[in-house]
Amino acid sequence: QVQLVESGGGLVQAGGSLRLSCEASGRTFTRSAMGWFRQAPGKERAFVAAISWSTDNTYYGDSVKGRFTISRDNAKNTMTLQMNSLKVEDTAIYYCAAANKPLSPSVRLARMYNYWGQGTQVTVSS
């Protein structure tokens, strides 16, 4: 059974940093894109970042460019999201996701992902 488990969420002041991790089990996502999404209360799930299997290519949502960095370690079957210069508007539940396809512009869409974690809460206070 495939599982994605996020960790690293918490409460941080604006301007601070957090590092989220996602550990996959049950299969390796060879040649598959992986990504992060977030959902704030009353809003739709939004794309944050995605990364290719080779880690050569990444995509970022406009609101996090220059502040967040996505990475993955295929040997450990893990993915991370380093979040710096956090803003109050970054407050959301953050979800790890994996697709059965390589990275492409379409991976900005949540419906392109086949597996999801349970989410981890990130709260940024002013």
For residues 38 and 90, what is the distance between their CA atoms, to the nearest angstrom?
A: 9
Kindly state the average pLDDT of the residues 76-83.
96
Per-residue pLDDT tens for 10-68? 999 999 999 999 999 988 888 899 999 999 999 999 999 999 988 889 999 999 999 99
Q: How high does pLDDT run on average in the chain?
A: 95
Please say if the pLDDT value at position 93 is more than 90: yes
Kindly state the average pLDDT of the residues 78-98.
97
DSSP string, 2-69: -EEEEE--EEEETT--EEEEEEEESS--TT--EEEEEE-TTS--EEEEEE-TTSS-EEE-TTTTTTEE
| pLDDT score of 10 | 97
Is beta strand 10-13 parallel, antiparallel or unpaired with respect to 34-39?
unpaired
